[in-house]
Amino acid sequence: MKHLDSFPFQNQRFLIRVDYNVPMDSDLNITDDTRMRATLPTINKIISSGGSVVLMSHRGRPKGQDDSLSMRHLVAHLSDLLSQEVKFIDQCVGDKATKASKSLKSGEVLLVENLRFHTEETAGDIDFAKQLSELGDVYVNDAFGTAHRAHASTAVIAQFFKQNKCFGYVMANEIENIDKVVGGAKKPFTAIMGGAKVSSKITIILRMLEEVDNLIIGGGMTYTFVKAMGGEVGNSLVEEDKLDLALEIIETAKSKGVRLCIPTDSMNADKFDNDANKEYSLVGNVPEGFMGLDIGHQTAQQFNEVIEQSATVLWNGPMGVFEMENFSQGTKAIADALVSATQKGAFTLVGGGDSVAAINKYNLSDKVSYVSTGGGAMLEYLEGKALPGIAAITQD
């Protein structure tokens, strides 16, 4: 497998699959450009070394040609970020697009139209992938967020580039960092699983039980565990059909010698609202008419101690409804614990939509070792699945 740095750059067109699925407000202003900024090192390396760049991405889930999801709304900001003109073509395949790519001079950048304006993209259509491949001499996959999809631009296209394919720096970085927590993580290894439901985290929980020394459970899924163990959980979120599964997880943890940390106290609310009446209780004594929306301070303290004694920490999912200020203390406490573990030399990885949002909210993302932008792709990679976007580059 080749590395980006090992290609001759001069007069070569580098076709980069980026993830520019950036959020925008109703006036089409970009509200978070993290994904665009992340790709700048890859683009800058190529253009400063004499190559040219063609960028392709999807945005949203358009039904046909939806102008609000056009890539043209990104051109001005991308030009600013790169401090140079970015050309745009309102197609991603066909003569016009191919011609535009072939007329690029050394150091120039071209952005093509939203790949998902064609249904062939998500269908993984081979002819569409072939047409896309005409846009470049070298294929670079730098879109980790879509690496778990076998789409035309993320995986199928690679076959048309033989050896002329590689990861961009975003992708290489993600893989390098996530690899530090799968197979051979430094011990003690602690995984923190939070979020709403057990059902959406079950595969990753079972996988983590194979790897970790400590498994911390928090968030909404707490109450399914507590109810399964015979506790009173009031109106808390419970998945009635997952009670047996929760008991199974408890048993598996025991048999594997994993310390399973389930909250011991709970901050409760009489409705799902920031201004609800709050009442504190032990986790198995949530009063009738109340629901647990955050871990209690005693739990936060216990989790903190486990996290601070760890050499590797993976955090996925908030400890409570952190979007509501009054129920965000538990999540903030965990974020702080990750920061102090990092300062003590631990490798700390935050990944999965809502924990990334939480760490950003507290401005702590540069105080942990790595924040994965991968979301679903990161989870699948951690679960041990082969991701099509990675396999397409690593296989000959």
The residues that are catalytic are 35, 197, 353, 376
320 vs 389 by CB, closer to ligand AMP: 320
Strand positions, DSSP E, the chain: 13-17, 52-56, 86-89, 109-112, 138-141, 165-167, 189-193, 214-217, 259-261, 265-269, 278-282, 291-295, 312-316, 347-350, 370-371
Signed CA dihedral, 294, 297, 302, 306: sign only? positive
Residues 68-87 touching ligand AMP, rule: CB under 6 A, are: none
User: Stretches 88-96, 166-174, 178-186, 350-358: which one binds ligand AMP (CB under 6 A)?
Assistant: 350-358
Name the residue nearer to ligand AMP (CB basis): 101 or 190: 190
If DSSP states are collapsed to H, E and C, what string results for 371-383?
Answer: ECCCCHHHHHHHC
Q: Which of 318, 351, 375, 389 binds ligand AMP (CB under 6 A)?
A: 318
CB 24 within 8 A of CB 79: no
Residue 293 within binding range of ligand AMP, rule CB under 6 A: yes
Residue nearest to ligand AMP (CB): 195
Chosen residue from 231, 296, 320, 388 binding ligand AMP by CB under 6 A: 320
Cα–Cα distance measured from residue 226 to residue 301, given in angstroms and rounded to the nearest whole number = 19
Q: Give min distance, CB of 293 to ligand AMP, in A.
A: 5
Is residue 200 near ligand AMP by the rule CB under 6 A? yes
DSSP 92: S
199 conformational bin, left if phi > 0, alpha if psi -120 to 50, beta if neither: alpha
The angle, 0 to 180 degrees and rounded to 10, between the axes of the packed helices 243-256 and 202-209 is 20
Taking each helix axis as running N to C, give the angle between helix 329-343 and helix 353-361, from 0 to 180 degrees, rounded to the nearest 10: 80
Whether the Cβ atoms of residue 162 and residue 186 lie closer than 8 Å to each other: no
CB of 313 to ligand AMP, least distance (A): 17
Torsion of CA 34, 38, 43, 49, to 10 degrees: 140
Binders of ligand AMP among 161-190, rule CB under 6 A? none
- Interacting residue with ligand AMP among 354, 356, 372, 390 (CB under 6 A): 354
- Pick one of 168, 220, 263, 388: the residue that binds ligand AMP (CB under 6 A): 220
Distance (Å, rounded) from C-alpha 372 to C-alpha 171? 10
Q: Is 317 in the site for ligand AMP (CB under 6 A)?
A: yes
Select from 68-76, 105-113, 298-306, 352-360 the region that touches ligand AMP (CB under 6 A): 352-360
CB of 331 to ligand AMP, least distance (A): 8
Alpha-carbon distance of 79 to 33, in angstroms, equals: 13
Count, residues near ligand AMP per rule CB under 6 A = 17
Of 73, 130, 197, 297, the one binding ligand AMP by CB under 6 A: 197
Mask 228-257, x = binds ligand AMP (CB under 6 A)? ---------x--------------------
136 binding ligand AMP? (CB under 6 A): no
Footprint of ligand AMP (CB under 6 A): 195-197, 200, 219-220, 237, 292-293, 317-318, 320-321, 323, 352-354
